[in-house]
Structure 1
Amino acid sequence: MANGNTTFEDDTADARPSKFVLSRSNWASNTTGHFLDDDCPSETYVWTNSSRLLMNDSKLYMQAHLSPISLTYYGFCMGNGNYSVNLHFAEIMFSDDKTYNSFGRRIFDVYVQEKLVLKDFNIEDEAGGAAKAIIKNFTVAVTNNTLEIRLFWAGKGTVGIPFRGVYGPLISAISVSPNLKGLDLHTGSFTLRQIKAATNSFDPANKIGEGGFGPVYKGILADGSVIAVKQLSSESKQGNREFVNEIGMISALQHPHLVKLYGCCIEGNQLLLVYEYLENNSLARALFGPEEHQLNLDWPTRHKICVGIARGLAYLHEESRLKIVHRDIKAKNVLLDKDLNPKISDFGLAKLDEEDNTHISTRIAGTFGYMAPEYAMRGYLTNKADVYSFGIVALEIVSGRNNTSYRQKEDAFYLLDWVIYFSFSLALLVFHYGT
């Protein structure tokens, strides 16, 4: 059925209890449970709107899928990226008049991608009455080519009024489309006007960092989405190269431990990259930034951060379709979300690792102190260079010390030298007391 610019596929013909049903398209649904002591016929799993209930887009709400316990929809083979998911509801079984049907109450939970998005949801209360449509919209990230929407009975509400066996979730329709506000990874495009509005014209108060190629600002889009905007210098050839490289590399990548690129802006003399916003800034700031910004990281959290970075690198080196060497793994390029999950960022220096070649010979680029010796001295680049850099970052995480400090010469501290000295001293102690 067509409704506006959206075409809906009917799934009510296959609405059967405790049955996994694959539709004609790439969608499937699963209804769980049986209505106990049900007074109604078997078609209770599909409820039809009565003629007295008229509303806008009434055809869309003439029938609804009903379930005793849970109702799950799966969208398969979807392109990875961000989508706008609309869940259409209307309470067409109960009424809000003074009849017996008005005593019914429906309460359920809604999960999208296994995340609870609606708790104790009551359609009638949310819509302001029975037979009134309400649409709940969510921006959802698809990372494994699958979307999962689950409606689950909360164990509350009606079980015997106005009919025995009337409980569980009810939904009229679902529509899914790529998010066209710039949050679709592959098609994100922003105007300079949008970016200026989001960052309050690059207000210094919104500045959250400074990269090698320009400042980073926090911004809020008109729809409430929080973003991070990297402003690259248009005067720098290296900045131009990083801009193009970043878009080309990260737009082909999707992983929980890689930062998401939402889009870009090329307008006037501005080169802007728009990313997801990570609440806890960089690992470098958390470990050895200004005291007011440092975080108290316990050992399980430090372990989680190390494992997360390693998983991100494993994806880049072995699991993604494109095998990539990052070339600039350091604490400053690891960002932390609100739950302190790490995400690798800044792919401006990344290189494709061609599997047929044993190594890449290239100009040296990166950050001294984190570069593998064979790469720093000879330009000999393999994914082992990232592993070396990760080792330095892991030492920083464990010790809480910066790899290199740029203090007075006599006070300079080099973490790797300290580790070597400590290991050598420990070996001497073991040798001495062991003999």
Structure 2
Amino acid sequence: MRRTRAAAAIAIVTSLTTLATGCGGGDGGTGGASPKTLTYWASNQAPSVEADKKILTAELKKFEKQTGIKVKLEVVPWSDLLTRILAATTSGQGPDVLNIGNTWSASLQATGALLPWDDAAFDKIGGRDRFSEAAVASAGVEGEDPAAVPLYSLSYALYYNKRMFEDAGVEKPPATWDELVATGKKLSKGGKWALGAEGSNLSNNIHQIFALGQQHGSDFFDASGKPDFTSDANVAAVKQYVDFMAKDKIIAPGNAEYAQNQSLQDFARGKTAMVLWQAAASTFAAHGMKPDDWGVAPVPVPSGAPGGGRQVNSMVAGINMAVFKNSKNLDGATKFVKFMTSDEEQKILNDTYGSIPPVKAAQQDPAFAAPDRAVLRDTLAKSAAPLPQVPEESQFETAVGTAVKELFADAAAGRPVTTESVRARLSKAQQQMPK
């Protein structure tokens, strides 16, 4: 039954996106790879696709020198990545190796297109115990062999503009949501705003309300894996997030239309004082900010400090590395995953991207002890939880993420955002889920 529902979920997600006509296979893809060639779809981690190409090409040359295997690299923007992957799972014409957002792991696992990472497969790359348990837990359905291997680990943090805080007489970043609203009202003046959001970024909407939902004591799926979007706790979590714009007036109405990275641009330009984001240092630098211009703190919680029980303050974010099961170069693909998850490459790549290595030995490098990295690392270790590892997760992101987008649009237009209107949007989203 779960598999049938999973297949339906993938079909619905595919129908909601604009499928690419070409799936990126070609002579180096699964349809005709030679033992000395691999194709690799990398996700866009750097401030630009071109920056990713430069970063990764240098590392891929090392792999080619070590193994004689040439890797044909394509960096795929996040706006296209899930569509491309779903098309490839349907056509069978995909790359040999690819990056996936870890929240998609269970959905893509349900297609049967990805290589399962059982103990024997993990042994070929040094063993499962090299990776943090939180990272592996976000690589597939609990109780099944993971569909991918953790590559970059991320969590959310609260980034704040030190100068804007100083000018407003704010001495320290808020630790609780009440403090954030109070601080936000001091900062939201003179055409500047306290908090950035991306109302049209469906995934970011999900990430924020998931953590708030955890703090309210809820999950968006029940113990059997069925959607449970309209519980009082979930409604309260969504309303709390949208109310930062609708009631508290600390998010600019224009943020209702913002998409990927637009909130970071406002932050870097001094238009917004705070932003909730994953590993943003490299993006800030690309926009001309210096490390001393900004600070970082844990995402607020209802009271006290993050950690334990309802004090979850982030989803377990990150990027996993998967192999298409029908690759004609499984041996080379496994060698490539081993290279990318080696201690040395983990240090290099995660340091470059501002993420945290999911490989435990690499986390001990001094580069990951810097104050901003320490916040991300401690959050992952103590107060982060994985998004629901259910096959319908990608449809959940689309349906509920859209509901939040529509509620932000209501707030921006001055229409009331009430408990009843939030519940109605979430009910509509639940009706869109596969039965």
| Normalised-by-shorter TM-score class | under 0.3
Q: Which has the larger radius of gyration?
A: 1
Higher-helix-fraction structure = 2
Higher-strand-fraction structure = 1
TM-score by length of 1: 0.22
TM-score by length of 2: 0.22
Higher relative contact order (CA 8 A, sep 6+): 2
